Structure 1
Amino acid sequence: MDEQHLHELFGVDIDNASSRSAEYKYLEEHIPEYIKRLKSRGTTRRSLYEEYLKNRPQGYSYYSFCLYLRREIEVKVPVVRIDHIAGDQMYVDFAGDKLYLSDEKTGDKVPVEVFAAILPCGQITYYEAVPSQKKEYLYSSRQSQVCRNKARRD
């Protein structure tokens, strides 16, 4: 295999800039724009790759494209590792966009927020649809869960 193909497969860094292909140079110039656009809602790696192929029909494979993109993101975005003690913490938040439930009687769409809680050590999750993000719904969501669990034990 030629050096460029080995580089694609195993990610060996090529220090000599002159040995880099024109394809790699093109991608290297456009990766910052791709990373910026990935933050936009609705933009996927696949859509960026399809756009890349329109400009470069003989370009990299989807796998290689994503590999170069991921490497650049990993270099630019700091990552923090957090060690968890089982049962020590629970993370809670409201997830994503509003969803809608259908009212059984009228058929109207009722907007709801999705309350999410996770125990990070065991990846145990809990979700519940609530009317809004107000405190009383956060508390009542938690209380109703405790009551249901207590009822199951009794």
Structure 2
Amino acid sequence: MNILSLNPSADGWKSKSNESDQTTITPASAGRFHAGNPAYKDPRVEHLSAHLESYSKQLGLVGVTRKLLWEEYIIDYQQGYSYSQFCFHLQQQLRAHRP
């Protein structure tokens, strides 16, 4: 079994192996091997992202809690995130827009 390890080079990524054959992976083809974080391709991300700014503003109102916002979110989008993931994404939004 041949284990492939990659090293950066000026014209792409070269494989290091005991064989004389070297495989080149260019930055353009690297996306096929690592297409990015699959979580951001989830439709839940798109739906929640569209509402995060509104949730952030509502959270500043008296009597509005994260739990209340999440319950409204789940009614609107039943395949949505669990409460803990909803709070995580909401916290990321709040941190990103902190003055």
- Structure 2 unmatched ranges of 5 or more: 1-35
Residues in 2 aligned to 1:46 and 1:70: alpha-carbon distance in whole angstroms: 13
| Higher fraction of strand | 1
Residue 94 (structure 2) aligns with: 73
* Distance apart, 1:77 and its partner CA: 0.4
1:57 aligns with one of 78, 81, 99: 78
Q: After TM superposition, which residue ranges in structure 1, 4 or more long, deviate above 4 angstroms?
A: none
Instruction: Return the index of the structure with the highest Cα Rg.
Output: 1
- Structure 1 unmatched ranges of 5 or more: 1-12, 79-154
Q: Which amino acid aligns with 1:77?
A: R
Q: Given the two structures, how large is their TM-score scaled by the length of structure 1?
A: 0.39
Among the aligned pairs, what percent are the same residue? 33
Deviations 1:69-96 (A, max 9, x none): 0001001003xxxxxxxxxxxxxxxxxx
1:26 aligns with 2:47: yes
| Higher fraction of helix | 2
Residues in 1 aligned to 2:96 and 2:87: alpha-carbon distance in whole angstroms: 14
Q: Given the two structures, how large is their TM-score scaled by the length of structure 2?
A: 0.59
Residues in 1 aligned to 2:62 and 2:69: alpha-carbon distance in whole angstroms: 13
Q: CA RMSD in A?
A: 2.1
Residues in 2 aligned to 1:60 and 1:22: alpha-carbon distance in whole angstroms: 11
Higher relative contact order (CA 8 A, sep 6+): 2
